[in-house]
Chains A and B, each alone.
Chain A
Amino acid sequence: MKFKGKSWVVPDDIDTDQIYHGQYLPVTDPHEMAKYALTFTPGKENFPNEVSEGDILVTGKNFGCGSSREHAVICLQYNGVSCIVGESFSRIFYRNAVNLGYPVLECPGITKMVTEGDEIEVDLDSGLVKNLRTGKTITGVPLSDVEAEISNAGGLLEYLKTH
């Protein structure tokens, strides 16, 4: 699977309250969740209005630390963010993304080679990321066996229907 899009960049240690604040936890409709994505991340308060379909989120280390809320993945998914490439992810966030069949790539060094707004290309299977502005490339760590099977099936619940 390959993605190409404009990048948004957030720093290290963005926690789930910054991605999707606890005050919106009672929400159960994913379209409504999308309205609150990243609105507690400094400088990204207006993200849901500014993001476009197909954009790619680039994150610092430990993205998604904090709560187990799956809302944090869903709110990005429903804003049309096509995939997330991060220095590293908190495990629950990563796991939730895999379970939802949502593309994530762990890619140490990514924030050093992408400036917000750069057009980037991500190949999920090989892990190759290319910055189309600078021409530089870097290779991340693709999903492992069980994770890839689940993600490629479209997520855990789809996977269970066929296994």
Chain B
Amino acid sequence: MPGKTIAEKIFSRAAGRDVFPLERVWLDVDLAVVRDFGGPNVVLEYDKQFGNTCPAHPDKIAMTFDYQAPAKVTKVAENQRICREFAAQHGIKSVYDVQYGIGQHVLLERGRVLPGEVIVGTDSHMNLLGAVNAFATGCGTTDLTAAWKTGKLWFKCPPTFKVIVNGSLSSPTGAKDLTLFLMNKIGTDIANYRAVEFYGEAIDNLDLAGRLTLASHMTELNIKIPFFSHSPSVHSWLEERAGRKIEPIEADADAAYEGVLEYTVEGLRPVVAAPHYPTNVLPAGAEGVVGQKINSGFIGSCSNGRIEDFREGAEILKKAGGKVHPDVRLIVTPSTKEVAIQMLHEGLYDIYMEAGAMVTNPGCSLCTIGHHGVLPKGDVLISTSNRNFEGKLGRGGIIYLGSPAVVAASSAKGVITDPSTL
């Protein structure tokens, strides 16, 4: 029998027997998470189907409120209350209310996500938790209702592609550029419903923030889940958060892959994803891109909302003169409360606010239309989030995606700017 990929190992453990690619199996779920959208639908469905009976494992349920935090419309406020009341009724302790920030990041910081675990949630970017080699996937409300009740859910074991990324990046090119470069190369078809294991020098060098950036874009490629080469520093961070020793999970040397893709990022320059697809990637300095007038900038979201991202943005902003262009609204949103506190301690709030940016409370912010910062028709946004689909932030709004460095440089100049030319 050949060895196992990471996906096969996780599936086999959670099913209690050997599982092979494309098999549908029922797995024990380690954590079932809802947000403040989706969450109320799950609670209402649960009450309708199962009345007052208790969920199988209240300790394996979490709620994170990051869709509209704090609520601005009564309906959302009511929805959040529906979730809180259900949690109180059933002894669900892990409610991360509106002050905490983006769910997946909060759960990571709290040590609730560990390598090898099976996690589901009502966000299509749950799979960014593959950054620490957990199997996490976005599900609908019916799935979550079932997982709460039974502690189990059906899954198809994905075949795995191996992706090797050679070369090293030199600042201001970073994890976002590597990510967008790979998005363009891999595209939405080849790895559809596949797991991907990332290896190579460029991947080994990614810290947790960089892994989160790459992992948070996999949904846009239809990739089920990304996994990563072992990183001692990420692993010790996880152990510190979990408060105990944990087993890393790695593929066997003789595991069978559906295919191997190999790329090099040596010499890569900053890039952007132009409207309206995240795979529509061009050099930030390319004709037709560089010099494009922008109306707003956004640094944040689950792809680029870590402290490392705000350091990078602040450094480039200073380099570009320290001021946001008078015609641009730059919005900066830490992913979590923990990141916000760190930003305060490092003086990053001062840098951004004195430059003329607005620093908001933690959350998903300009990644969904549920929040502030939506676009009027014809306005152009340069954003570090993971999607630039048409109409995402309002009908007729135009979105480019780029790194914190690209967003900071562009916000300072008022036009899309390659930060390596500053």
A-B complex is real: yes
Known: A66-B387, A68-B123, A146-B154. A155 touches B37 (CB 8 A): no
- Contact of B138 with A99 in the complex, beta carbons under 8 Å: no
Separation of A136 and B349 alpha carbons in the complex (Å): 64
Measured CB to CB, the closest approach of chain B to A15, in angstroms, equals 5
Q: Are B143 and A147 in contact (CB under 8 A)?
A: no
Contact of B67 (CB < 8 Å), options: A25, A70, A100, A150: A25
Tell me which of A90, A99, A147 has the highest count of chain B C-beta atoms within 10 A of its own C-beta: A99
Q: Take A18-B391, A69-B37, A90-B222 as given contacts and tell me if A146 and B24 are in contact as well, using a CB distance cutoff of 8 Å.
A: yes
Mark each residue of chain B from 253 to 276: 1 if its CB lies under 8 Å from any CB of chain A, else 0: 000000000000000000000000
A23 and B369 contact, CB distance less than 8 A: yes
Neighbouring B residues of A145 by C-beta, 8 Å = 24
Q: Is A113 an interface residue (CB 8 A)?
A: no
A49: interface (CB < 8 Å): no
Q: B76, A26: Cβ atoms under 8 Å?
A: yes
| A95 and B391 within 8 A (CB) | no
CB distance from B396 to the nearest CB of A (A): 11
A residues less than 8 Å from B150 (CB atoms): 160
- The complex places the Cα of A88 from the Cα of B150 at a distance, in Å, of 30
Please tell me if the beta carbons of B79 and A157 are within 8 angstroms of each other in the complex.
no
Are the CB atoms of B389 and A100 closer together than 8 Å? no
Please indicate the chain A residues that have their CB under 8 angstroms from the CB of B37 in the complex: 25-26, 69
Interface residue count for A (Cβ, 8 Å)? 38
Q: Is the CB of B123 within 8 A of A17?
A: no
**Inside 8 A of A18's CB, which chain B residues have their CB?**
389-391
Whether A156 sits at the interface, judged by CB under 8 Å, is yes
User: With A and B bound together, what is the CA distance between A2 and B73 in angstroms?
Assistant: 43
Given the interface contacts A26-B79, A92-B124, does A17 sit within 8 Å of B143 by beta carbon? no
Are the CB atoms of A21 and B24 closer together than 8 Å? no
Cα–Cα, bound, A95→B192 (Å): 14
* Beta-carbon contacts under 8 Å, B135-164 to A: 138-143, 145-146, 149-150, 154
CA distance A16 to B77 in the complex (A): 24
> Bound state CA distance, A157 and B149, in angstroms?
10
**B76 x A68 contact (CB < 8 A):** no
* A-B contacts at CB below 8 angstroms, number: 107
Q: Which of A28, A90, A95, A155 contacts B41 (CB under 8 A)?
A: A28
**8 Å CB contacts to B: which residues of A43-68?**
62, 65-68
**A99 and B142 form a contact (CB under 8 A):** yes
CB-based nearest B residue for A18: B391
Out of B138, B140, B145, B192, which one reaches A73, CB within 8 Å? B140
In angstroms, how far is the closest chain A Cβ from the Cβ of B97? 17
Determine whether the beta carbon of B138 is less than 8 Å from that of A21. no
A157–B146 touching, CB < 8 Å: yes
Q: How far is the CB of A163 from chain B (nearest CB, A)?
A: 10
A69 to B41, CA, bound (A): 10
List A contacts of B395 (CB < 8 A): 40
Contact (Cβ within 8 A) B73 A157:
no
CB distance from B52 to the nearest CB of A (A): 17
The answer on a CB contact under 8 Å between A22 and B154 is no
Say yes or no for B49: interface residue by CB 8 A criterion. yes
Contact of B138 (CB < 8 Å), options: A28, A40, A68, A156: A68
- The residue of chain B having its C-beta at the shortest distance from the C-beta of A72 within the complex is B140
Inter-chain contact B392/A22, CB cutoff 8 Å: yes
Write 21 A-B pairs (CB below 8 A) sorted by A numbering: A15-B389, A21-B391, A22-B369, A23-B369, A25-B37, A25-B38, A26-B37, A26-B79, A26-B370, A62-B222, A66-B219, A68-B122, A70-B41, A88-B192, A91-B193, A96-B139, A96-B142, A99-B143, A144-B24, A150-B154, A157-B45
